[in-house]
Structure 1
Amino acid sequence: MEEKRVLILEDEIIVALDIKEILENLGYRCLVFHAFNSALDSLVTFQPQLLICDINIGEGPSGIDFVIQAQNRVPGLAVIYLTAFSDRQIVEKAGKTHPVNYILKPWSDHQIRVSVEMAFDQIADGGKLSQKLVDLTQAELKILELIAQNKKSKEIADLLFISEKTVKNHRYHISKKLNLSTENNSLLTFALSHFGYKNEA
């Protein structure tokens, strides 16, 4: 079984150590940091799958700034934000980094445990998804992206200079490769949840 590694960035060291203790008792390997730069330096060598990060880490750059840099260094890094408040503007900015979850302070041991378990479930599902996406052709991936932009088959056909029938065939094959139902907009739902972020400004 692969080791599950969690990096914790929290400027209140007592809080970080409490989270570390909870997770280590569950078998996770954890590193704790309370400073932006030392946490950033550890990413390449530690290679965490999950980052638990306080949105506000004292003076200077925010936890969101850290996550942006961390995700550039460790592609596929999952994120859980810790926060003491829910300011809409900050949550919207944090949302652009696609966190798995938010934990509002004061938190309970149960919240931490469940959030981290859910994050690793999502990480595992993402690996399965990546394998399925490898089976798609470039044309199918392009069509999936356009579906995520809420384009209809006719619009996709016009954009790609192909027939509407060809688009419908691609849609059918994509659904089959991804084991999706061909009914109830399951392809649209899948595209929006996995490719919709590409449309964000």
Structure 2
Amino acid sequence: MPPSRLLIVEDERLVAEDLRDSLLHSGYDVVGIASSGERALELVAQHLPDLVLMDINLGGEMDGIGTARLLRQKHGTPVIYLTAFSNDETLARARDTEAYGFVVKPFHDKAVVAAIEMAIGKRASERIEHRREEMLRSGLMALPLGVVMTDDRARIVFANGTARNHIGRALDGEEAVLLEDVFEEAAPEERNGEDAEARGAIREMTGRRLPVVYSDDLLRAGDGSVIGRILIYQDAAHPPFSGELGRLLRSFMQSANSTPDGASQFLTICAWSKRIKVDDRTWVSFEDFLTHYLGLHVTHGMSPDVAGKWIANSFNDPK
């Protein structure tokens, strides 16, 4: 693994050079030294270091805290502050920049290395979590099912592309949109028996009421506290295993040249692998059967109940 790349921002030249020599001896790659906030911004844009060691009381037009804030906004660069003394107001400003640590002058090599390693470890964990969140969000956006999430006050905080198309209203404005504004559970008389799927409707701005089947669950933080709710739904007019696929399968079976009790009217499916028997020696996957024997184009989706469990597990996974 290549050494971590560090930038030192310190306006006392002797202090900066002494710190650089110590860091080089500890195995780090010091990409530069800046004596001002403006120069620090230039060097970060040029070298993209893994971490910046920033004098909190940096002189010049832009102090260390202002520089750190800009670095965080523009590049997401983590910062450890170097400080000899600071008042409470300065420390409060520094905390607001989400600093990764503080090192007190005069420096002790072991303390500096410990602070750097903790900051780099924290940054690596953040990147993994950010990547995980990006993948989860991307997967949710691509789902053909509608996905809506709320906070603990029933305000919508996320809706994927399918849900946004159905809802037909802006969800990113300053005024919060409540789940009850766009979704309603079906009245008891609209259900088809006690064991029917959960049914409801999406209310669009146009006044259209889209009947849906749905599943919902609570979203919980790592400590088990409720942080919101997730609703996953699909158009009730096209539930799983019906629509065009169901029609084609029924047509295929009805057109089989056989007697009513003939074996060709039945499909043999392996109970273990779920592969389909097409002759005495050949077993194919369900997808291959649909593609090569029925001529259908196959894609994969996710039912609301499975999607709900997958998303809940993703949010509750401590890793």
Q: How many residues align?
A: 174
More helix by share: 1
In the alignment, what sits opposite 2:317? 180
Secondary structure of 1:136's partner?
helix
Whole-angstrom CA distance in 2 between matches of 1:172 and 1:56: 50
- Shift of the 123–24 alpha-carbon distance from structure 1 to 2, 3 Å rule, reads same
More strand by share: 2
- Shift of the 27–59 alpha-carbon distance from structure 1 to 2, 3 Å rule, reads same
- Shift of the 15–110 alpha-carbon distance from structure 1 to 2, 3 Å rule, reads same
Compute the RMSD of aligned alpha carbons: 3.1
Q: Could you tell me which amino acid in structure 2 is paired with residue 93 of structure 1?
A: R
Gaps of 5+ in 2: 142-147, 157-176, 186-214, 219-228, 231-307
- Shift of the 93–176 alpha-carbon distance from structure 1 to 2, 3 Å rule, reads same
Q: Deviations over 1:120-164 (max 9, x none)?
A: 111211221122112323779x95xx7xxxx52x53477345589
In the alignment, what sits opposite 1:6? 6
Whole-angstrom CA distance in 1 between matches of 2:132 and 2:25: 34
- Shift of the 57–24 alpha-carbon distance from structure 1 to 2, 3 Å rule, reads same
Q: Could you tell me which amino acid in structure 1 is paired with residue 122 of structure 2?
A: Q
Q: TM-score, normalised by structure 1?
A: 0.72
* 13-22 or 114-123, larger mean C-alpha shift: 13-22
In the alignment, what sits opposite 1:193? none
Shift of 1:52: 0.7
- Shift of the 87–132 alpha-carbon distance from structure 1 to 2, 3 Å rule, reads same
Bigger Rg, structure 1 or 2: 2
In the alignment, what sits opposite 2:300? none
Secondary structure of 2:54's partner?
strand
Q: TM-score, normalised by structure 2?
A: 0.48
Shift of 1:26: 2.3
Structure ranking higher on relative contact order (CA contacts 8 Å, 6+ apart)? 1
- Shift of the 166–79 alpha-carbon distance from structure 1 to 2, 3 Å rule, reads same
In the alignment, what sits opposite 1:166? 216
Whole-angstrom CA distance in 2 between matches of 1:14 and 1:162: 65
- Shift of the 105–174 alpha-carbon distance from structure 1 to 2, 3 Å rule, reads farther
Identity %: 27
In the alignment, what sits opposite 1:51? 52
Q: Could you tell me which amino acid in structure 2 is paired with residue 159 of structure 1?
A: L
Gaps of 5+ in 1: 182-189, 191-201
Secondary structure of 1:86's partner?
coil
In the alignment, what sits opposite 2:154? 155
Whole-angstrom CA distance in 1 between matches of 2:124 and 2:57: 28
